[in-house]
Amino acid sequence: MLDLIIIGSGPAGLSAAIYGIRANLDLLVIEKDYEGTGQVALSSKVDNYLGLPGLDGYSMGEQFRQHAVDFGVKFLEATVTSIEQDPSDKHWIVKTSDGGQQEAKAVIYAAGAVHRKLEAKGEEELSGKGVSYCATCDGAFYRGKVTAVVGGGDTALDDALYLSGLCEKVYLIHRRDGFRAAEITVNKVKAKENIELVLNAQVDEIIGDERVNSVRLKDGRTLDINGIFIATGSVPVTEVLKDTDLLNSAGYIVADETGITKAPGFFVAGDVRTKALRQVVTAVSDGANAATSAEHYITEL
């Protein structure tokens, strides 16, 4: 029996692995992608991680993973399909798609989240070339430029406000004429002179050769832009936990920064946890905290 199974080798899982192995825990990281390093690998440039400015996300992920490999962390490439707790001694049984089964005293779940896509023409091709899913990550690259934000919830309006402080102009494109965001945020957006509301509008195509240069709406209008931020929500990867009482209504695992969930011995780290800011730095921090919580739990046992 292992001490600890970590599910996911994104920044949260890898950070948890480094803290866990340095605490002398016998642990295994299970990751579904070949040598996967999580969402960060999709970022063309990460400029907001302390001490490593300007790295492309793929290289950053490689450095994170190499750090864990150098410290002797063991990896299993497999998709986790179920997580159960043994009713007698309460240890955890993690089953994988290859028919295998791993058992441990504790689990850290760090399977991340995925950004919801618009499914518009040009979105896929121009992703990372002007199409972004994260204003906090990429907004600073559009200083003095014209951008668009797509969405009508709190994230979209917060993104528009954030970008309005950097960009010459921000279009806020929303398919309805009312917003789901908090009224106070809506009022702040409406008061900004450089945010133009584009309501009852849907994106038909994002256009550009090397980089985004415009967006065409379904009503035929075209807006000239340098970048577009899709803020239509993110989806936590919690399918395997859907029948548990560990999730909130949006599917995120409920826990504070200790990573301690309702289930003793089951910890959470990274984007899949309930929290306000989903970034590499908070994922790494979560991993450290969850591993420390798991180590305390195992010591108590």
Ligand X SMILES: Cc1cc2nc3c(=O)[nH]c(=O)nc-3n(C[C@H](O)[C@H](O)[C@H](O)COP(=O)(O)OP(=O)(O)OC[C@H]3O[C@@H](n4cnc5c(N)ncnc54)[C@H](O)[C@@H]3O)c2cc1C
Binding site for ligand X (CB under 6 A): 7-13, 30-33, 36, 38-40, 42-43, 46, 48-49, 79-80, 110-112, 115, 133-134, 137, 237, 270-271, 278-281, 283
Query: Active site includes 3?
Result: no
* Residue placing its CB nearer to ligand X in the complex, 49 or 142: 49
Please give, one letter per residue, the 3-state secondary structure of 238-269.
Answer: CHHHCCCCCECCCCCECCCCCCECCCCCEEEC
- DSSP assignment of 58-87, as one string? HHHHHHHHHHHHHTT-EEEE--EEEEEE-T
Contact 57, 288 (CB under 8 A): no
Give catalytic status of residue 167 as yes or no: no
Instruction: Give the Cα separation of 175 and 198 in Å (integer).
Output: 8
Q: Among this protein's residues, is 134 annotated catalytic?
A: yes
- CB 29 to ligand X: min, Å: 9
Q: How many CA atoms lie within 13 A of 58 on its CB side?
A: 3
Catalytic residue among 138, 158, 159, 286: 138
Nearest to 244 by CA among 112, 78, 92: 92
- Looking at beta carbons only, is 8 or 152 nearer to ligand X? 8
The least distance separating ligand X from the CB of residue 79, rounded to whole angstroms, comes to 4
In the complex, least distance from residue 192 CB atom to ligand X, rounded to whole angstroms: 24
Q: 7 or 27: whose CB is closer to ligand X?
A: 7
C-alpha 246/C-alpha 252 separation (Å) is: 8
- Of the listed 3, 137, 167, 271, which one is catalytic? 137
**Considering the complex, what minimum distance in angstroms separates the CB of residue 94 from ligand X?**
9
Q: Which is nearer to ligand X, 25 or 110 (CB)?
A: 110
Of 198 and 291, CB closest to ligand X: 291
Give CA separation, 64 vs 50, 74, 96, 277, in Å: 14, 14, 24, 20
Burial of 129 (0-12, 13-18, 19+ CB in 10 A): middle
What single letter denotes the amino acid at residue 119? E
Residue 35 Cβ, how far from ligand X at the closest point, in Å? 10
Helix (H, G, I), strand (E, B) or coil at 183: helix
Instruction: Kindly tell me the burial class for residue 132, based on how many C-beta atoms sit within 10 Å of its own C-beta (0-12, 13-18, 19 or more).
Output: buried
Please identify which of the residues 134, 159, 167, 286 carries the catalytic annotation: 134
Residues forming the active site: 134, 137-138
